[in-house]
Structure 1
Amino acid sequence: MSTEPETTGDAEPGTPTGGAGTEADAPDAGQVSEAEAELRAQQAERERIERRKAEKKGPVESGGKLSGKAADLLAAVRAVESGEKPAATVLAEPGPAPRRSAPEPVRRPQPVTAEAVATSAAPAPETVRAVRGLLGEGGAPEALAPQVAAALGEGADEQLRADPWQLLRIAGVRPEQADGFARALLGAECGPDDERRGRAVTVWLLEQAALAGHTALEMPALLTALAQRGVPDPDRAVQDTIAEGEALVFQDALEETGATPARTEEEDAEAEERPVRVLVGLERYALAEESLADGLARLVNSAPKQDGSTEEWERAAASAQGSAGELIRTVAAHGLVLHTGGEASLAEPAALLHAARSLGLRAWAATHGPIGRDRFATLLGRSGGPTGPGTNEA
């Protein structure tokens, strides 16, 4: 049996652990104070250790640091264990949460189809009924009512009664048919010299010319056509049409042909006005053609300076065969060239592309689709040009 006093594991080695007799053994007062302080510290540490041991032996309070759904679930389990609530009520699965209405999606603007445009531009039913009644009164086909109402717009029946020759605005209607309709409505007031008839026939002739590919007619040709349609005063009919803004008149300067003889200053002053031809056309066609001409003129004027010497281009043109040489010479001398033709004309652009590349120029050919690209690549191979990727672009 050991005779050493029992010590705790928390005491540091070499420190006294005795009771009240320790102070009496101290040599002086200063050492007694330090020993007392050390004993008090050890006693406080023992008390702390005993408290921790007692806490470990007691029930552990679990879930003290839980929050949210975990804390709610723990509280429900404890309520069931204590008998406060039945398990069926607490552990039953919650019902589905009420659905919230989804916000309206942002609708992007959709392209307007032709059918939608036709539907939105459809004339009002009452307008169509009024026009149908008027057409029946004049002996015209009532099936034309929707077209007439769409062409003349609101109040189409009133416009058509005031000017029966407006029926010529409808595709397929001829002047003699419009004349019969006008006679049925106007009676004795209808005559071939009616200015309304002259304007309507003028516009109709310009429409027919546009369908044939002529956006404008020369004034003499238009006057002749009006006379053939029974217009007594064609010149007045054209002037009335221009005054009403239904047609436009243009002047196209004529190029002088032949050698110009030497003239004095007085003769030059008298010849300042060059000869012109007068053209008449509908506004929408004439302006479209004029806009296209202006665009082509800007393209011609913006063309870069010719690359390669004239001798090199001439040698390339001489080495080509037939019309291909002519195309090469034309391209060398002009900034913009229009080349037309059928399937056989593909060989000339192929020769042109080969000639440009032989001069060290960067040249491309654009084709409409893969079939044209393959055919053109074959032609380039025959002409000796490269046929790899990038030779021609679709």
Structure 2
Amino acid sequence: MSTEPEPATEDTAHAVDTGSETPGTAEPAGAASDARSDEPAGDGGEAAAQVSEVEAELAAQRIERERIERRKAEKQGPIDAGGKLSGSAADLLAAVRAVESGEKPAATVFGAPEPARRPAPEPVRPPRPAPAEHSAAPAGPVGPAPETVQSVRRVLAEGGAPEGLAPQTAALLGEGAQDALRADPWLLLRVAGVRPEQADGFARALLGAECGPDDERRGRAVTVWLLEQAALAGHTALELPRLTATLAQRGVPDPDAAVQSTLAEGEALAFQDALEETGARREGEQDEESEEGEERPVRVLIGLERYALAEESLADGLARLVNSAPKQDGSAADWEQAAASAQGSAAELIRAVAGHGLVLHTGGEASLAEPAALLRAAHALGLRAWAAAPG
């Protein structure tokens, strides 16, 4: 039997080569051969094959663990700037790393900070042209000219009247107010708050010896002033006897002449109001009227022109409204039957509407049931009727 060692098989050589890649973990080749030299010759091939497989498996596991450790170390370590990025992302990452490490200041890398944006100014819109009807209107407030007010103030100061009345007087008398005051000082009585005795003092200061209580200008001024005071109290017209008696109390020597002068100047109007006859007339009066023609008694009323015209216009409008209503809206029997079915004041309202074209009903919220009953009666008669809320 030969004492020389058996030549190494292919598996044994592979195991020794594999162990040599990782020194310090595999046994020396000589020790391995010595251990196998003690085994019987017949089982040496199988034992060597098993050892080679185990060593190969261990070596493969060690290689895999080393690869895993290297990947973990790569993940935990710093990322190389731009190592796995490209384009603008890589440039941005490199710039951030440079700023973090202190190699470059932020201003040089990212540039100067952008100034704050200001809101864009609104476009300037051209002014719209004024409408045609308003373009010619005066820009300033309507009122007396400053020169007129100043002239009136001088006249008032000359007559001893308060200078604070100058704007009112100039607005009332208009242009040339100073000349009008000198010609008729009692025109000051038309200014609100001025009384007859104050106007008399102003006139005496301006006219001197020419001023007197029988002055026709004073009679007209006092007449107009009395009518103004009556209108403020709710009487737009005064009976002629009452007006002349009041003028006499105010120191007017000839009240009838003062009233006639006021009417002649058109500052007041006179109209007649017919009176209903009451009582039996005397036989002598009846005989005279039968010969000359029967005349109805009237009363004469005096009122300012503006109030008289306004009342006349109102009277004409009411007359047109009354005459515009149909003369027959259902038979009298039907209206009477509707009134009989109502109660109390509602029946009176229905009868009033049946007999008149214009009826004024008052009472406020408490009497709303009465117009409601009237509307139901009108609808039952086949008439068009409706109610409108006040205001």
Structure 2 residue matching 1:179: 3-state secondary structure: helix
Cα gap change, 1:259 to 1:193, in 2 (>3 Å): closer
Partner of 2:320: 298
Distance in 2 of aligned mates of 1:340 and 1:209: 27
Structure 1 residue matching 2:334: 3-state secondary structure: helix
Q: Is the 8 A contact 2:289 2:295 kept in 1?
A: no
Partner of 1:133: 154
Distance in 2 of aligned mates of 1:206 and 1:290: 17
**Is structure 2 residue 309 aligned with structure 1 residue 274?**
no
Deviation at 1:296, TM superposition (A): 1.4
The letter of the residue matching 1:189 is: E
Deviation at 1:278, TM superposition (A): 0.9
**Is structure 2 residue 338 aligned with structure 1 residue 316?**
yes
Cα gap change, 1:233 to 1:288, in 2 (>3 Å): same
| Aligned alpha-carbon RMSD (Å) | 3.2
1:99-118 superposed matches below 5 A: 107-110=131-134
Structure 1 residue matching 2:141: 3-state secondary structure: helix
Partner of 2:113: none
Q: Which moved more, 1:206-215 or 1:341-350?
A: 341-350
Cα gap change, 1:334 to 1:269, in 2 (>3 Å): farther
Deviation at 1:124, TM superposition (A): 1.5
Bigger radius of gyration, 1 or 2? 2
Distance in 2 of aligned mates of 1:260 and 1:192: 42
1:23-76 CA-to-partner distances (Å, cap 9, x unmatched) read xxxxxxxxxxxxxxxxxxxxxxxxxxxxxxxxxxxxxxxxxxxxxxxxxxxxxx
Q: Is the 8 A contact 2:223 2:258 kept in 1?
A: yes
The letter of the residue matching 1:238 is: V
Partner of 1:360: 382
1:116-167 CA-to-partner distances (Å, cap 9, x unmatched) read 79923x1121111111111112221111101101111111111111211101
The letter of the residue matching 2:365 is: E
The letter of the residue matching 1:270 is: E
The letter of the residue matching 2:181 is: L
Distance in 2 of aligned mates of 1:264 and 1:183: 53
The letter of the residue matching 1:321 is: Q
Distance in 2 of aligned mates of 1:304 and 1:269: 41
The letter of the residue matching 1:353 is: L
**Is structure 2 residue 231 aligned with structure 1 residue 210?**
yes
Distance in 1 of aligned mates of 2:186 and 2:315: 34
Distance in 2 of aligned mates of 1:301 and 1:111: 44
The letter of the residue matching 1:356 is: A
Cα gap change, 1:260 to 1:139, in 2 (>3 Å): closer
Cα gap change, 1:108 to 1:250, in 2 (>3 Å): same
Distance in 1 of aligned mates of 2:193 and 2:127: 53
1:206-355 superposed matches below 5 A: 206-257=227-278, 268=290, 270-355=292-377
The letter of the residue matching 1:315 is: Q
Structure 1 residue matching 2:366: 3-state secondary structure: helix
The count of residues paired between Structure 1 and Structure 2 equals 266
Distance in 2 of aligned mates of 1:151 and 1:106: 31
Deviation at 1:269, TM superposition (A): 5.3
The letter of the residue matching 1:232 is: P
Cα gap change, 1:345 to 1:197, in 2 (>3 Å): farther
**Which runs of 5 or more residues in structure 2 are unaligned?**
1-125
The letter of the residue matching 1:190 is: C
Structure 1 residue matching 2:389: 3-state secondary structure: coil
**Is structure 2 residue 165 aligned with structure 1 residue 144?**
yes
1:135-214 superposed matches below 5 A: 135-214=156-235
Q: Is the 8 A contact 2:190 2:225 kept in 1?
A: yes
Cα gap change, 1:340 to 1:274, in 2 (>3 Å): same
Cα gap change, 1:265 to 1:230, in 2 (>3 Å): closer
Cα gap change, 1:367 to 1:191, in 2 (>3 Å): same
Structure 2 residue matching 1:109: 3-state secondary structure: helix
Cα gap change, 1:271 to 1:177, in 2 (>3 Å): same
Distance in 2 of aligned mates of 1:163 and 1:266: 47
Q: Which moved more, 1:287-296 or 1:317-326?
A: 317-326
1:272-320 CA-to-partner distances (Å, cap 9, x unmatched) read 3222111111111111111211221122223212222222222322333
Distance in 2 of aligned mates of 1:196 and 1:363: 56
Cα gap change, 1:238 to 1:319, in 2 (>3 Å): same
Partner of 1:98: none
1:73-132 CA-to-partner distances (Å, cap 9, x unmatched) read xxxxxxxxxxxxxxxxxxxxxxxxxxxxx999583424999xx79923x11211111111
Deviation at 1:261, TM superposition (A): 11
Distance in 1 of aligned mates of 2:356 and 2:214: 51
Distance in 2 of aligned mates of 1:318 and 1:112: 65
Distance in 1 of aligned mates of 2:314 and 2:187: 30
Distance in 2 of aligned mates of 1:308 and 1:335: 13
The letter of the residue matching 2:149 is: V
Structure 2 residue matching 1:277: 3-state secondary structure: strand
